[in-house]
Structure 1
C-alpha cells in the first residue's frame, strides 16, 4: 500500500470500529460528544440548530472531519477518535486524495421531520455491506451491497456524496464520484478511451448499484494497466484534485464561497529587474516579488505595518509607500483566477497567465520568497501598446480599453510568435454544486433551467437579499458544467446606460470621434465563434435602464425564434446577429418603487422567475445548524414574522420581503455582526418601507433588537 496515503489505514480501521456500534448508537453519540469536547470544538450533530441528534449514521460521522475545516482541527479530531475507538493505525497528518463535502451539506440524512423511518438504519446497513464486499467480493456480498446501495440512493440528502462516503470507508474498493473526479475520469487524456466512452453520460445522474460497482471494477482494470501515474483510487483522486486547481488554492477550500464569482481583475507585472526572473518563473509556474527581508506578508494586518517594517530593515529615510502598497496587493488583493500580463521594460509584453493559488511565503527560496502559482498561458514577445507603467505590479482593471488592447495582442497568435500556449482548464461545476451553494431545491432548479432553455432570456426577480446575483453566475456555471469565466459576462444597467454602451457608438478620440463596440456586441461576436457551447450574458438591475433605448433594433433579435437572423446596426450599417448559443439572465429588485414596469413588448421576450426568501429551505436550515447561534435563530424567527406582515401589507406585498442573504456569512456569528445587520441593513429597509408609519417602524425595530440581546 502506498505509504503516501497513510490516511487510508486509519479511515478503514475507524469505519470497522464504528460498525460495532450499529446496534448501540446511543453510546456512540456519547462517545462523539466526548470526542468533540476533548478536541475543543462544538458538537455539530444537532436537529435544526439546538436539539442534539438521538441517532446518527457512519457517513455523517466521517463527514464531520471531511469538510471545510483546517488540517489542524482535522488532526485534533482524529486524535480523539483514535483514543475513543482504540485505533492502532497512526493518526494521519497528510490528507492527499480525500474529497471533502460542503460545510452546509455534511449530513447524509435529513432532519427528523423530513427523513424516512429507516433512513439511518439503511445507511448503517450500507456500511456493513460495503465492508463485507470489500473483504470478499463474492456474488452474495455483491448482491447484498447493490440492494443496500439502491435503497439508500432513494433517500433525501443522498446524491453523489454517497460515493464519497463509500470511498472514505474503503478507499481501495470504491471510487469517489464527486464533480472533480467525474470531470477527470471522463477525459480521454486521463483514462482509456473505452472507459471514457462507457461512462460519457455519468453526469446525467447518480448510477444505480450495479452500474456503480461495474464502474469501480472497470476503473480498477484501467489503473492496473500501469499506463498512468496513478494506480489506485486514492492516487487517482489526488491527481484529479491537482488537475482541477486552476481557480483554487493548494489546500481544499475552507469556505463555500466561489471566488470565481468575483469579477476577474487584470494586472501588469515585471518578473524582476528587466524581467530577469521570467525564464525561471515561467518554467516553475509561479510569479514572485522581491523585498525578501520582509517576512511572511500574511503576518501584517495593514499596509502601514508593512511600511513601518520596511523602514526598520531597510533605510528609514524612505517612505516605502508605493512598495508597501505593491506587497499588500501581491499578498491580499490578487485573486485566484485573475489575469497577469508580464512586461519587460516599458515597451515589451512577454507573457500572460492566470493566477491559480493564494499568496505563499516560500522561505526555502534564495530570492523572491513571496510567490503565487500561475498557469502561464503564453510566452513570447509582443510590442506593448504605448509605454507601460514603471511599477512592478499594477492593477489595470479600471482601464478596460487598455486591458482590451493587451488581450488583443494574444488574439492572433501564430506558432512563430508564441513558443507555448496552453488550454485553460476551468474547475468543474455541477448541478449538485449549485444546489449545495444556492438555497434552492432540485425541482425548482430544474424548472429554472428548463425555463431558460425554452425562452433563452430569463429575469430573476425578487426582494432584496434573496440571492439573485449570487445565483446568476452559478446557474450559468452549472449549465456549462465548469466555472468557465470566459463564457460569462456581466453588466449593470442604470439610468444613464445607453445603446452606445451596450451595442456600439461614437466616442471621443485624439482624431475626433471613433466608433467603438459595446459590451453586448463584443460578447455576441465571441459567442458566434464558439457556437457549439452556451454563453451567458448577465444584466444586474435590468429594470433600472431604459431597455427600449438600450436594445434599440436588437429588441427583435433577442427573441428565441429570431436568433440567427440579421439586422443592420444603427451606426456602422453592419449586419449583426444575436447567436443561438447566447442566454440572457437579468436580475430585478421587486422592492424598488422608483422603477417603472417593463413595457409589454419587452416582457414577452423574457420569462420571469420569482426568487423568494429561503428561510424554510433545507440549505438554510443546514446553515443555521452549522452556525449554531441561538441569537441568529431568534433573529430569523422575528424576520419570518416580519415578512408575513410585509406580505399582508397592501402597499407592499411579497416582493418587499427581506431576503435570507442578509444573514449569511462565512465568518463566525458574533454579537457585533448581528447588531450591524439589524441596525444598518434591516432597520433602514423597514424605515423606507413604512416611511409614513413611524409607530410600526419603532415597534419592529424594538422587536428586532430584542431578538439579539
Structure 2
C-alpha cells in the first residue's frame, strides 16, 4: 500500500462531523465504543470508575486511537472498526505523520464519576462543537464563543495546553495548533523559528488563556504564509518538530554513547560488573524444583509474548494492561520483566527465596534471555542457569524480611548482599562456588592521554608519585578534570578498566570515622548496637586478599571532611613505609593495617574559599599534584582542530587571556584558573551551546571571583560574549 503523508486528516475530519451527531445520543455512542473493542479483541481502557461508563465526550473517543505506546497494528484495528461502526467513508490512513498522542496515564478529558462536575462533559461537547464551527467559518463571533469553552475546559483538573490543543488539532489541523512538548520546544527553543517571530509570541503558560493561544496561532500562520518558511501549515510544522526533535534526541544519545565509550563520569558502560538478584520462582516457589532440575530460571507474563518485542518498560506495562487486566498498574511487574530480559547478564548471582522469610537456592546466570512457550504454558521467559545450591528441604532463614517482588536487583545493598553470601558459604569439605571470570576492557597510557588532556611528561610524573608515595592529592581549579582523571589514572596503572579494584567516595562535613573505618550502628532488628565496618576498612581487606594486583581508593572533595576525625589512627598507617604495620582499632578488638597494594587518590578544589586547609600531619603523608587547564595539551589541540569552529577557537583564546589575568590577580592566583572541562565532549558547535557555557557557567564564576570589582566583571563579560559573535 502506498503511504500518503497526512492522509489521516480526511478520516479524522469526517469522523468529527459524524460524532457531533451523537451529542444527544450518548448512550448509543457508548454502546458503539464498547462494540469497537469487543469486535477488535483489544482490551478497552478504563474510561470511568470500575469501567462503568455513564457518559463520554468526543475528545476522549479520539484519544482511544491516539495514545503513546499503542502499537500501530492495534491503532489501525480500532480505526477500521470505527470506520465500519460509524459509517466513515474516508480511506483508512496509511500514515500518522504529525499526529500527536496522549499519555496513557491521562487519556480521558474528564474525571471519573463522583469527582467531576455536573457540566464537565457537556462543556467538552460545547468546545468540540464550537471548534468545528470556527474551523468551518473562522469569524470573530465564532472565535469568541469558542474561547469561552476553551478557557473552561483547559482549566479543568487533568487538562492543560498539550492535551486540549492536541484535541483541537485532531479535529481541525489547519485551524488549530498543537502545543504539546515537542511543538512548544520547536517553536520557542530549537532555534529553527526566527528570533523576531519567537520574540513576538506570548510566553507559554501551563494553562494558556484562549486570547494568547489565538495570538500564537495568528502570528505563526502569518509566518508560515509569508514565504520566509519552507513549512506551509501546522501539519508540516508538527511533523518537522517531531522529526527534528528525534534528530536532536539521537544526537544526545550518540553523545552519551561516545562519553560512555570513553568512560565518562564515574560509571563506565564498557566495564562489566557482577550484579546480585533475589528471585522467587512462582508463588510459594512452586516452580523451584522444576527450574532446578532443568537448570533454568523463568518468569511469568507469557500472555504478553516474547519480551524482546518491547522497547521500553512502558510498552510492557501497556501490553499487560491490554492482555491481562486494564485496572492494574503493573509498575513493579513491568520493571522486573524488563530487568529479566534486558539488564540481567551471564555471570550474575541469583539468590532464590520462598515467601519473604526463607532462602532455598543460589545460582549463576549462564545465558541471555530467551522465549520458549514449549517448556511451560505459564512460564515462557527463561535464562539458562548453573544452580549451585538447593536448600528446599532445609531452607535457610532470610535475614529480616525479603521484598515481595518476583525479581529484584540487590547489588547496591552491599551489607545485605554480604549477609546472603555468608549464608551460602560452602562447608570446609566442599569447594567454593566460583564466579565466572570477567573480561575487562584494556586501558593504557595512550587512552588516558587521549581522554584527560594532560601532557605525557606530567602523566609520567603523576604515575611515579602514586607508585612511590602511595597517597596523592590532585588539586586544582574547577573544571581541570580532577574527578574525571582520577578513575582513569587508576585504570591506566592497572592496564584494565576493573571497577572491582577501584572505589570512590566523597567526603563531606558529616562524614566520620564510623563511616570510614568502623563504628557502632543499630542492629537490623533494632534490639541493640553492633560494630559495622566502614568503606575504607572493607576495601583494605579486599585489597589485602589480592596482593598481586593494585587497588585504588579515590576520595572526592577530600578537604570537605574533618580529616583528623575521619582518619583517626590511620594517620600513621597510610604512610608508604608504614604499610603492613598493624594498630589496634578504636572500637573492635582487632589489629588493622593498610596493604601495600592500595593507593589513595584524593581530589581538592583550590578555588573554594570556604574550605579549610588540610591538617599538616595529613599533608605530610600526601604528595600534591597540581592539575592545570589542559588547553595546550596535544589531546586538547587535536580535539580543538576536529571541531573546526572559529567561534570555539575565539572563545578558547579569550579564556587563555582571562586565565593570565586570574593568575596575576593577588586575591586569586593560578588555583582559580578556568579549566578545559567546561568545553569538552562537544560533538558539534553552535552559538547557542557556546552562549550557554558563557552565560550560565563562566560569567557566574567571574561574579564569584570578582564580587567586589564590578567593572572587571563587566569587561570580561563583554569579552566572552564578543568572542562567540
TM-score range, shorter chain: 0.5 to 0.7
Give the Cα separation in 1 of the matches to 2:421 and 2:622.
Answer: 33
Name the SS of the counterpart of 1:473 in structure 2. helix
1:639 is aligned to 655
1:622 is aligned to 638
Give the Cα separation in 1 of the matches to 2:296 and 2:265.
Answer: 20
Q: Which has the higher contact order (CA 8 A, sep 6+)?
A: 1
1:612 is aligned to 628
2:456 is aligned to 442
Contact preservation (8 Å) 1:260, 1:337? no
1:380 aligns with 2:385: no
**Cα offset, 1:379, TM superposition:** 3.5
2:575 is aligned to 559
Give the Cα separation in 1 of the matches to 2:594 and 2:291.
Answer: 44
1:323 aligns with 2:328: no
Give the Cα separation in 1 of the matches to 2:315 and 2:569.
Answer: 55
1:225 is aligned to none
1:474 is aligned to 488
1:694 is aligned to 710
**Cα offset, 1:658, TM superposition:** 1.8
Match for residue 524 of structure 1 among 528, 537, 540: 540
Name the SS of the counterpart of 2:479 in structure 1. coil
Contact preservation (8 Å) 1:632, 1:708? yes
Contact preservation (8 Å) 1:265, 1:338? yes
Cα distance per residue 1:595-623 (max 9 Å; x no partner): 11112211110000111111121111222
Give the Cα separation in 1 of the matches to 2:309 and 2:286.
Answer: 23
Contact preservation (8 Å) 1:256, 1:666? no
Contact preservation (8 Å) 2:281, 2:298? no
Give the Cα separation in 2 of the matches to 1:278 and 1:636.
Answer: 66
Q: Pairwise CA RMSD of aligned residues? A: 4.1
Contact preservation (8 Å) 1:351, 1:381? yes
Give the Cα separation in 1 of the matches to 2:620 and 2:481.
Answer: 24
Give the Cα separation in 2 of the matches to 1:423 and 1:361.
Answer: 20
1:262 aligns with 2:262: no
The structure-2 alpha-carbon separation of the partners of 1:534 and 1:295, relative to structure 1 and needing over 3 Å to count, comes to closer
2:200 is aligned to none
The structure-2 alpha-carbon separation of the partners of 1:284 and 1:411, relative to structure 1 and needing over 3 Å to count, comes to closer
Contact preservation (8 Å) 2:264, 2:484? no
The structure-2 alpha-carbon separation of the partners of 1:706 and 1:477, relative to structure 1 and needing over 3 Å to count, comes to same
> What pairs with 1:352-367 in structure 2 (closer than 5 Å)?
none
1:588 aligns with 2:598: no
1:433 aligns with 2:444: no
1:227 is aligned to none
Contact preservation (8 Å) 1:275, 1:343? no
Contact preservation (8 Å) 2:296, 2:382? no
The range that moved more, 508-517 or 420-429, is 420-429
1:422 aligns with 2:436: yes
**Cα offset, 1:589, TM superposition:** 0.8
> What pairs with 1:286-435 in structure 2 (closer than 5 Å)?
292-293=304-305, 299-300=311-312, 307-308=317-318, 310-326=320-336, 334=343, 341-346=350-355, 347-348=358-359, 350-351=361-362, 379-381=388-390, 383=396, 384-396=398-410, 399-409=413-423, 416=430, 421-435=435-449
Give the Cα separation in 1 of the matches to 2:424 and 2:647.
Answer: 54
**Cα offset, 1:335, TM superposition:** 9.3
Give the Cα separation in 2 of the matches to 1:579 and 1:407.
Answer: 24
Give the Cα separation in 2 of the matches to 1:275 and 1:674.
Answer: 60
Q: TM-score under structure 2 normalisation?
A: 0.54
Give the Cα separation in 1 of the matches to 2:381 and 2:592.
Answer: 48
The structure-2 alpha-carbon separation of the partners of 1:337 and 1:707, relative to structure 1 and needing over 3 Å to count, comes to farther
2:468 is aligned to 454
Name the SS of the counterpart of 1:636 in structure 2. helix
Q: TM-score under structure 1 normalisation?
A: 0.55
Name the SS of the counterpart of 1:506 in structure 2. strand
Give the Cα separation in 1 of the matches to 2:653 and 2:545.
Answer: 51
Give the Cα separation in 1 of the matches to 2:346 and 2:703.
Answer: 40
Name the SS of the counterpart of 1:465 in structure 2. coil
Contact preservation (8 Å) 2:581, 2:593? yes
Cα distance per residue 1:230-281 (max 9 Å; x no partner): xxxxxxxxxxxxxxxxxxxxxx989532279418695525386449599999
1:492 is aligned to 506
**Cα offset, 1:707, TM superposition:** 4.0
Give the Cα separation in 1 of the matches to 2:670 and 2:316.
Answer: 50
**Cα offset, 1:568, TM superposition:** 1.3
What 5-or-longer segments of structure 2 have no aligned partner?
1-256
The range that moved more, 560-569 or 409-418, is 409-418
Give the Cα separation in 2 of the matches to 1:707 and 1:463.
Answer: 23
Give the Cα separation in 1 of the matches to 2:580 and 2:290.
Answer: 46
Name the SS of the counterpart of 1:584 in structure 2. strand
Give the Cα separation in 1 of the matches to 2:453 and 2:293.
Answer: 41
Give the Cα separation in 1 of the matches to 2:490 and 2:346.
Answer: 17
Contact preservation (8 Å) 2:347, 2:435? no
Give the Cα separation in 2 of the matches to 1:673 and 1:306.
Answer: 37
The structure-2 alpha-carbon separation of the partners of 1:708 and 1:669, relative to structure 1 and needing over 3 Å to count, comes to same
The range that moved more, 264-273 or 342-351, is 264-273
Name the SS of the counterpart of 1:497 in structure 2. coil
Give the Cα separation in 2 of the matches to 1:517 and 1:285.
Answer: 36
**Cα offset, 1:442, TM superposition:** 2.2
Name the SS of the counterpart of 2:573 in structure 1. coil
Name the SS of the counterpart of 1:348 in structure 2. strand
Give the Cα separation in 1 of the matches to 2:299 and 2:721.
Answer: 49
Cα distance per residue 1:316-369 (max 9 Å; x no partner): 22223333444566688x59899654434443374466999xxx9978998999
Contact preservation (8 Å) 2:280, 2:354? no
The structure-2 alpha-carbon separation of the partners of 1:685 and 1:318, relative to structure 1 and needing over 3 Å to count, comes to same
Give the Cα separation in 1 of the matches to 2:292 and 2:274.
Answer: 21
What 5-or-longer segments of structure 1 have no aligned partner?
1-251
Name the SS of the counterpart of 2:327 in structure 1. coil
Contact preservation (8 Å) 1:271, 1:289? no
Contact preservation (8 Å) 1:429, 1:481? yes
Q: How many residues align?
A: 450
Name the SS of the counterpart of 1:556 in structure 2. helix
Contact preservation (8 Å) 2:372, 2:382? no
Name the SS of the counterpart of 1:650 in structure 2. coil
Contact preservation (8 Å) 1:380, 1:419? no
> What pairs with 1:125-136 in structure 2 (closer than 5 Å)?
none
Name the SS of the counterpart of 2:568 in structure 1. helix
Give the Cα separation in 1 of the matches to 2:630 and 2:346.
Answer: 30
1:650 is aligned to 666
**Cα offset, 1:548, TM superposition:** 1.1
The range that moved more, 269-278 or 451-460, is 269-278
> What pairs with 1:99-248 in structure 2 (closer than 5 Å)?
none
Cα distance per residue 1:281-328 (max 9 Å; x no partner): 99999998957548657745xx65664465445532222333344456
Name the SS of the counterpart of 1:527 in structure 2. helix
Cα distance per residue 1:60-108 (max 9 Å; x no partner): xxxxxxxxxxxxxxxxxxxxxxxxxxxxxxxxxxxxxxxxxxxxxxxxx
> Larger Rg: 1 or 2?
2
Match for residue 577 of structure 1 among 593, 603, 607: 593
Contact preservation (8 Å) 1:341, 1:352? yes
Cα distance per residue 1:647-705 (max 9 Å; x no partner): 22221111112222222237655555444433433333222222223343344334434
Give the Cα separation in 1 of the matches to 2:293 and 2:703.
Answer: 56
Contact preservation (8 Å) 2:501, 2:550? yes
Give the Cα separation in 2 of the matches to 1:282 and 1:644.
Answer: 72
Give the Cα separation in 2 of the matches to 1:609 and 1:377.
Answer: 48
Contact preservation (8 Å) 1:456, 1:583? yes
Contact preservation (8 Å) 1:272, 1:278? no
